[in-house]
Amino acid sequence: MSETLLAAQNVTKQFPGVLANDDVSIRLRPGRILALLGENGAGKSTLVNILFGMYRPDSGQVVIKDETVDLHGPDDAISRGIGMVHQHFQLVPPMRVVENIVLGDEPTKRGLVDLDEARNRVVELSRRYGLEIDPDALVEDLPVGMQQRVEILKALYRNADVLILDEPTGVLTPQEADHLLGVLRELTETGLGIVFITHKLREVLAIADDIVVLRNGRVVGETTPSQTSESGLAEMMVGRSVMLQVEKSISDPGDVVLKIDELEVNDDRGQIALDGLSFEVRAGEILGVAGVEGNGQRELVEAITGLRNPSVGVMQIDGEELTSGSPRQITKKGVAHIPEDREKHGVVAVYTVAENSVLNRYHRRPFSIRGILRRDVILGHAQDVVDEFDVRTPSVSVPASSLSGGNKQKLIVGREFSDEIKLLVAAQPTRGIDIGAIEFIHRRILEQRDKGTAVLLVSAELDEILGLSDRIAVLYDGKIMDVIDARDADREKIGLLMAGITD
């Protein structure tokens, strides 16, 4: 067995305006798990895309099994035994498991796809690695954990001896994630090497043999779990010491601000997404909604903010019924919204920072009078938001598209918080932004709470929910499994609820 399974040697990759990888070297040995840790934009994805042949490095080499190679595309990497499990699954939903696994490398008999042979191979493979799966199930009918298994089998079917997994636990419950880590550990016993990309410190410590930390495209640290800790890793990632947990006082809930009663909401396909939901959020408290994505979170947020009409049920905001209120009516009532997808619903990319800073209020005084925008008032307001919320931008007149994700998010938060608000609906408020900005936004959300705002926090990051919430509602399959006081919450218990298990 070769000493080096997969390595990048002094890899540099420049994109317009960004040095994505700057003289990066990593090395994976057989039977080991290498964790690549770094914030969004640190260059992890670029690096693995180079290793997988999607991009070509400007300089430096890729080494596979002690041999310097020149990869021209993913098929080059695949034929050399590199398998990749993408963050967004690369599966064809209406096709069967077996078809998905063999796609691109199909066994044939008399010129036609030999599905029987394919099925045999898949069954044999899943037995050998202990990854049981129904080969004839349609991928679209499988839960995400199973879809991920299909992705892993897809790589193994192509005789991968290196598996690259890009943020594989993001869509899993804590238990599913633990199970995956166990599966990966077993796979390494056959000599497979694994590159594991994540931003979750806990997982890195739990599974990695070697850890490489990237920051701004450079390797800033190489370590092993025994030599470091969560705070040590966080410091390496960010370059300064960070508070992983924001301090918060005990909440002092007031009157009910948001009241949801037996709400039923359909998803885009007309299927029931929220099935008779009831809960309340009081002034001065944070209700965290935990759950694996796709269990109705998006529909819940859209229903509350007026972007989607419930089919049944009642929603009251501050005592007024607004079940099918328009977004504007609801905003006017003092509801702030930090949307899940900031690019799509948070900012208008081609508008300037200043224009974006008044998207929720441009039609009102003092920003416009009789339908005419008042430019200087808007610019002044934008400058205040930028200063107060630490939005790093050369000026308020550049398009929002030129801002980084974290700065866009701070701009959105600044816009939403600069008015008197009664209810804050924050959906994945810190997704994909750097730890510094996460800390900042968390502190601002807590400030709002302490000012008496009712906060509904929807997040797929369990740590975020646990760190901020006063009460935690666990959403599964469109229903609330339970609402727990945050002081009694533990990962184990919430994880089971997220999987729909109630003892």
Partner 1 sequence: MGEVMKPQQRQLLYAGLAVMLVIIWLFYSANGPQTTAVLAGTVRAATLLALGAMCGMIGERSGVVNIGIEGQFLLSAFAAFTIASMTGSLFMGTLAGIGMGLMMGWMLAAMAVGLKVDQIIAGTVLNIAALGLTSFFYDRSRSLGMGKYTNIDLGPLADIPLVGTVFFSRPPLTYLTMALLFVVHIALFRSVWGMRTRAIGEHPGAADTVGIDVLRLRYLNVTLAGGLAGLGGSYLALEAVGTFSRAMSGGRGFLALAVMIFGRRTPFGAYAAALFFGFTTALQNQFQLNNTFDIPPQFVGMLPFVVTIIVVALSGLVGSMRDPAALGQNYEKG
Nearer to partner 1, 17 or 111 (CB): 111
Q: Are strands 372-373 and 479-485 parallel, antiparallel or unpaired?
A: unpaired
Nearer to partner 1, 118 or 220 (CB): 118
DSSP one-letter string for 330-375: HHHTTEEEE-S-IIIII--TTSBHHHHTTTTTTTSTTTEETTEE-H
Q: How far is the CB of 15 from partner 1 (least distance, A)?
A: 11
Point out which residues pair with 368 in neighbouring strands: 373
Burial class of residue 370 (count of CB atoms within 10 Å of its CB; 0-12, 13-18, 19+): exposed
Measured distance CA(34)–CA(49) in Å, rounded: 16
Measured distance CA(90)–CA(151) in Å, rounded: 8
Nearer to partner 1, 54 or 69 (CB): 54
Neighbours of 326 (CB within 10 A): 12
- How much is the CA Rg of the chain, to the nearest whole Å? 24
Q: How far is the CB of 171 from partner 1 (least distance, A)?
A: 16
Nearer to partner 1, 68 or 90 (CB): 90
At residue 396, the 3 state secondary structure works out as coil
Nearer to partner 1, 106 or 134 (CB): 106
Q: How far is the CB of 147 from partner 1 (least distance, A)?
A: 11
- Helices (H) then strands (E): counts for the chain: 16, 24
Is the previous residue joined to 174 through a cis bond, with omega within 30 degrees of 0?
no
State the residues that interact with partner 1 by CB under 8 A.
Answer: 54, 73-75, 78, 84, 86, 88-95, 99-100, 103-106, 108, 111-113, 115, 154
Q: How far is the CB of 278 from partner 1 (least distance, A)?
A: 32
Q: How far is the CB of 78 from partner 1 (least distance, A)?
A: 6
Residues 442/397/334/462 CA torsion (nearest 10 deg): -20
Nearer to partner 1, 54 or 312 (CB): 54
Burial class of residue 124 (count of CB atoms within 10 Å of its CB; 0-12, 13-18, 19+): exposed
Q: How far is the CB of 388 from partner 1 (least distance, A)?
A: 37
Nearer to partner 1, 69 or 377 (CB): 69
Nearer to partner 1, 49 or 173 (CB): 49
